[in-house]
Amino acid sequence: MSETLSRSFAVADEIVFSVAAEGKKDPTAVQTYKNIVALRTGFEKLVQSVADTGRTKNELLDIQARIESIESRNSSLNMQRVTDDLTSVRNENKILTTKLKTLKAQFKK
């Protein structure tokens, strides 16, 4: 909670408490003091909820960024594997083509 808000609650709390303490028989002053305390408590919970929501959203954004990073890294790894496999297949094809030519040449003799 901000310092200005804390000071405002403290001033209101003090004023209403002093009025309620002076006239203990005045149920309106006592109820007003209870309401101010409840208002402050509720507002503190609200501020905490907003802060928690902000932290959660920041964590979510961080996790999403990590997921995107991992996915892009994974994609590049997969592309490298495909490229390596293609190179291997081409090399095998060259070897098989050479063997085939050799076998054809041997049968023609």
Q: Alpha helices of 1-109 — where are they, by DSSP H?
A: 3-22, 27-108
Q: Is the pLDDT of residue 23 over 80?
A: no
pLDDT on residue 57: 96
Task: Provide the pLDDT confidence category of residue 7 given band limits of 50, 70 and 90.
Answer: confident
DSSP designation for 26: -
pLDDT on residue 39: 87
Domain assignment of residue 19, given as a range:
3-108
For the chain, the first-to-last Cα distance in angstroms comes to: 97
Report how many domains make up the chain. Answer: 1
Task: Provide the pLDDT confidence category of residue 33 given band limits of 50, 70 and 90.
Answer: confident
What is the pLDDT of the chain when averaged over all its residues? Answer: 85
